[in-house]
A and B are shown apart, each in its own frame.
Chain A
Amino acid sequence: MKNVAKNLMFPLIAVVAAFLVGGVIVLIVGDSPLLVYELFLTSAFTGADGIGYTLFYATPFIFTGLAVAVAFKCGLLNIGAEGQLIVAAFAAAWVGLVLPGWPALLVVTLSILAAMLAGGIWAGVPGLLKARFGAHEVITTIMMNFIAAGLIGWLTHDHFRKQGDPILESLPIAEMKDGAPVGPHIPRMSAILEPLGIHFPARLPLNMAFFFALAACVIVYVFLWKTKWGYELRAVGVSPGAAQYGGISIARNIVLAMFISGMLAGMVGVNEVLGYRYRYYHDFSPGYGFSGIAVALLGRNHPAGVLLAAILFGALTRSSLFIQIFTDHVSKDWVVILQATIILFVACEAVFRGGALRLFRGSRPSVAGE
């Protein structure tokens, strides 16, 4: 229990500190921090709208957070979630577009599989480059991000767009008719809760993908800590030399970790394409991939932590529009700045940890030469 408290404390401090800094910024541009905080809490956590949107935005954060966390457990930094979710989203839409008229359930299943596969491959390539050539995955994944943007942008622009449509988006795979989507899609929360007698507005984009995300948290936890493959993956992350000694293949686990990471990132595409827009919309991601790093860090690379952190980020995203509208000078970018500040503080927590421990113990723990 003490462990949990200790693990919660530092991320919490980082978040509070970041909010304070954000408050100062608000003061500087001439608005009231208290107003901003109030807007944040009310718009994100009250009412079906608030909770609906918060959880809807949290869904991709959960996926990318898990993606970064899994890679990190193997000692890898996956900065490429942004690119992975783009190709995955496109793949999901593509399946829907090339299989018109097929049974919806089949199309949806294939679509999800395509998204996972596409994301997995897009991350697997940097994984392979690292395993075989020692190429640093930070650089390769960043490169893959740009390549994805260019490649998918071109495909959408030249091949899958409606003629004359100025927006860079693909043709739809499903259309909204009388408030309900027709065509291959995954149901929205309104449709799921209806049979239970709960009325949930259908315009809210919160959909089944949220449950997929929750399931993913459980699956990742079980995989990493309860299976032998998870054990091997974590061993490689902790000590490649010891892993090799134990007969564990470093190369295989690097590629596996990246592939799983990409698969998780790819699920963002499912939320977006199959659950919300029913088409591929270029630039749909407000930095979900990069924020995944923040979420993973904040959640200390543990699915439970990732879940909590993702909800926080979802709340921030939800409230950003309200903050922009209801204040004079604070724009949506305040939220982006806040997220960046959180990352910075969490990353520097080594200092906090050392300082706090000094307060608690009164001496500096360190190892003498052995």
Chain B
Amino acid sequence: MVRYSTPLILAALGGMYSERGGVINIALEGIMLAGAFTASVVTIFSHNPWVGLAAAMCAGLLVALIHAVASIACRADQVVVGASINMLFLGVPALVSGALFQSTGSTPQLPREQTLPEMHLPLIDKIPVLSQLFSGHTAITYIAFALVPLSYFVLFRTRFGLRLRAVGESPEAADTAGISVYRMRCAGVLLSGALAGIGGAYLSIAQNSLFTRNMTGGRGFIALAALIFGKWHPVGAFMACLLFGFAEAVSDQLQGVVPIPVQLIQIFPYVLTLIVLAGFIGRAIPPRAIGTPYVKESR
């Protein structure tokens, strides 16, 4: 379950920073793919997964930069920009992979030593159940989990968080207070890129050892669903990611055992999100200024 949740948590938290600032980010899927691909390729050439991880984060930042420039500076429709980024990264990895490795489907497999190592927590390792849950994960997982309380702190206790929230709810008020709306929103989007990039890297150099075409398989959207389900709150999103990760893990185990078809279990998170959006499990109200480009003179 933890394995499934990790990329979701990273992407969802990333999405939170972007959306709390007022920028819809449906490009999480594409950014994750970019991160996964970059991690794989860079690790192949550098033989060092940590370099690959760093590169993945940079890749995420770059892609997010495209999103930021288009949505914030050019005031393009944020959803359209996000959709186009997703499309872009269905194609770019294959093209580059074809040019580098003559294989458009996937990158060459990494030898075990070059994937991110599992880390064992010394004390917890001895305790039977806890060791299963908490130990033996790769660094990315620990980062992901640590980011949850960190994000809570950042969002609700720091200046950056307060300003980000203000920008997402009422950009005019923030502008009058001397805060640069553009800069805050950019920061939110870039953060989402960095985090989603790391989330993608998890797939290609931690959980698995290669990159395959479209390997995220919709995780970026599930993360978005988790974010909404969690009402744009770091802890809420985290719980939702665990829930969805749990569902995915369960579906794997249940295959062949229980008569519910696997595809139907797989669509569980999506159905759940629909129900949430319809308001049956409490209202999910997004930041007020989300999706609207901020135009300074329109007062």
Residues on A close to B: CB < 8 A? 25, 29-30, 77, 79, 129, 132-136, 138-140, 142-144, 146-147, 149-151, 153-154, 157-158, 287, 290-291, 293-294, 297, 329-331, 333-337, 339-341, 343-344, 347-351, 366-367, 369
Contacts and interface: CB of A to CB of B under 8 A. Distances in A.
Residues of A contacting B: mostly: helix
A291 B96 CA distance: 22
Per CB-CB distance, the 9 closest pairs between chain A and chain B, nearest first, are A336-B91, A333-B91, A347-B76, A343-B84, A135-B277, A150-B267, A340-B87, A340-B88, A154-B263
Given A29-B99, A331-B104, A293 B83 contact: yes
Nearest to A337: B91
Contact of A331 (B26, B95, B279): B95
Contacts of B218: 146
A330 B286 contact: no
13 contacts: A136-B286, A140-B274, A143-B221, A146-B270, A154-B262, A157-B263, A290-B87, A294-B84, A329-B99, A331-B104, A340-B91, A347-B84, A350-B75
B83 A129 contact: no
A199 B94 CA distance: 39
Contacts of A140: 274, 277
A139 B273 contact: yes
Given A158-B261, A293-B80, A337-B95, A348 B277 contact: no
A348 B70 contact: yes
A142 B99 contact: no
A151 B263 contact: yes
Given A329-B98, A350-B76, A150 B92 contact: no
Contacts of A132: 278
Contact of A336 (B87, B224, B266, B278): B87
Interface string B268-299: 00110110011100000010000000000101
Contacts of B91: 333-337, 340
Interface string B221-240: 10011001000000000000
Nearest to A368: B297
A149 B264 CA distance: 10
Given A79-B83, A347-B84, A150 B95 contact: no
A347 B277 contact: no
B273 A143 contact: yes
Contacts of B77: 77, 347
A150 B81 contact: no
Given A133-B278, A136-B277, A330-B95, 8 more contacts: A129-B277, A139-B225, A143-B274, A154-B261, A333-B95, A341-B84, A343-B87, A347-B77
Contacts of B267: 146-147, 150-151
A40 to B, nearest CB: 16
Contacts of A369: 299
Contacts of B99: 29-30, 329
B247 to A, nearest CB: 13
Contact of B70 (A30, A136, A294, A344): A344
A179 B80 CA distance: 43
B41 to A, nearest CB: 14
Nearest to B266: A150
Interface of B: 24, 26, 66, 70, 73-77, 79-81, 83-88, 90-92, 94-96, 98-99, 104, 218, 221, 224-225, 228, 261-264, 266-267, 270-271, 273-274, 277-279, 286, 297, 299
A333 B103 CA distance: 12
B102 to A, nearest CB: 9
A142 B263 contact: no
A27 to B, nearest CB: 12
Contacts of A30: 99
A344 B81 CA distance: 6
A320 to B, nearest CB: 10
B263 A331 contact: no
Contacts of B224: 139, 142
Contacts of A337: 88, 91-92, 95
B289 to A, nearest CB: 14
Contacts of A331: 94-95, 98, 104
B92 A147 contact: no
Given A329-B99, A344-B70, A369-B299, A146 B90 contact: no
A340 B261 CA distance: 35
Contacts of B277: 129, 133, 135-136, 139-140
B80 A347 contact: yes
A153 B262 CA distance: 10
Contacts of A153: 263
A125 to B, nearest CB: 8
A188 B273 CA distance: 42
Contacts of B83: 79, 290, 293, 343
Nearest to B30: A340
Contacts of B73: 351
B87 A351 contact: no
Residue among B26, B92, B99, B225 with most chain A CB within 10 A: B99
Nearest to A287: B87
Nearest to B94: A333
B288 to A, nearest CB: 13
A331 B98 CA distance: 7
Contacts of B81: 344, 347
Contacts of B84: 294, 340-341, 343-344, 347
Contacts of B85: 340, 344
Nearest to A142: B221
Contacts of A138: 24, 26, 79
B76 A77 contact: no
